[in-house]
Amino acid sequence: MVLKVAKRGAIPPFIVMDVMRAANEREAGGEGVLHLEVGQPGTSAPKAVLEAARTALFDDRIGYTEATGLPALRRRIAAHYRDVYGVTVELERVIVTTGSSGGFVLSFLAAFEAGDRVALASPGYPAYRNILRAVGVEVVDLQTGPETNFQPTPELLDRAARQSARAIDGLIIASPSNPTGTMIHAGELKAIVDYCEDRGIRLISDEIYHGITYGELATTVLAHTAKAIVVNSFSKYFSMTGWRIGWMVVPPDLCRSVECLAQNFFISPPTLSQFAALKVFDCRDELDANVVRYAENRALLLEQLPKAGFRKLAPAEGAFYIYADVAHMTNDSQEFCKRMLAETGVAATPGIDFDPGRGHRFMRFCFAGEHADMAEAADRLRRWRR
């Protein structure tokens, strides 16, 4: 007898992880790879974080914590909003999570019923779409482009609502975004908040790339409303990707729901990572030096990629990505990235990971690595495209 396999697992892969595996296989075979595919800092966690982890291990304090996280870490996160944004966040609204990924799972389960409709920008982070589908939520793709800075707008939401007889129940935004690095600027953010509140749309703001901007600072949605869900992480600006630790700020009406879900799904966030993360807020100088390097990498690639034929680039206002239109080079970005890796050793991510409908003509470069690697990658791509 054939055993049943649940349909919820039949979602698309996270293609960047497949690209990383192919790059790692190439390296294991003795061939060099320049990693511009996976969105993670090329630096380790700050020194004080590593020392805090050693101390916690030595003291054998690695038991369960509360499902919502260590109270001391939650207080420090609340203080972060006061210090950086001038926003007061009550302690009970702060939930420590197993990375931002855990935050998205908890958000979607707490805020939406199966069959609800949630809008998001396309191109956008693929895990939003795939997790929503796995839990039975309908995804409403907002087709964005340069004319909207690759970000959702009230006009796009109105258009999506008119195209269906059913209302939109939720909206996910990200500023700076993955894969384009574009931002929703302050006035535009307020307009989106007002639109959602007027229509009863639950707003979820992915603020994982806050701290990594190249001009205007990012604004938290909490400056405009306490009704939105904010998801953030220690992975990007704080350079703690593999520690799998993040946080949420949730509205009062969802606090107990999220806590109960966290108790049952995760028991508690990783304890060692929580003790380590307590110290990361004191490492601003080290972390800001990382952002200076990202800015140098960004400037180099924005100058050099057009010389290799990658001429149509999103502005990369924040995060550490450049999203390139490669329609004049290929109609199959996945095959193009495979060939580029094989022929140059430069790993990058095909756009179909971020935009199922149009991503076949786009690709993403991550510039979070070493400056010398970025320069070498640009040189190899120039020679490849001659």
Given a cut of 90, whether residue 313 has pLDDT beyond it is: yes
The two three-digit tokens of residue 9, written as one number: 């697992």
Any idea where the domains of the chain sit in the sequence? Answer: 7-44+284-384, 51-281
Given a cut of 90, whether residue 22 has pLDDT beyond it is: no
pLDDT at res. 244: 96
Burial class (CB in 10 A: 0-12, 13-18, 19+), 115: exposed
pLDDT at res. 184: 97
Is CATH 3.20.20.370 the classification given to domain 51-281? no
| CATH number of the structural domain 7-44+284-384 | 3.40.640.10
Which pLDDT tens digit goes with each residue over 85-140? 999 999 999 999 999 999 999 999 999 999 999 999 999 999 999 999 999 999 99
The closest of 376, 195, 371, 226 to 299, measured between CA atoms, is 371
Same fold, 7-44+284-384 and 51-281: yes
Grade residue 11 by pLDDT with cuts at 50, 70 and 90: confident
The pTM (predicted TM-score) of the whole model is 0.94
Task: Average the pLDDT over 200-226 and give the result.
Answer: 97
H helices of the chain, in order, are 15-28, 47-58, 71-85, 99-111, 126-134, 154-162, 186-199, 255-265, 271-277, 284-304, 333-344, 371-384
Cβ(287)–Cβ(237) below 8 Å: yes
- List Cα–Cα distances, 35 to 77, 205, 369, in angstroms: 31, 28, 7
The per-residue DSSP string of 293-359 comes to HHHHHHHHHHHHGGGGT--EE----BTTEEEEE-TTT-S-HHHHHHHHHHHH-EE-EEGGGT-TTTG
Which pLDDT tens digit goes with each residue over 147-184? 999 999 999 999 998 887 789 999 999 999 999 999 99
Task: Average the pLDDT over 333-355 and give the result.
Answer: 93
Is residue 365 helix, strand or coil?
A: strand
Task: Average the pLDDT over 357-374 and give the result.
Answer: 96
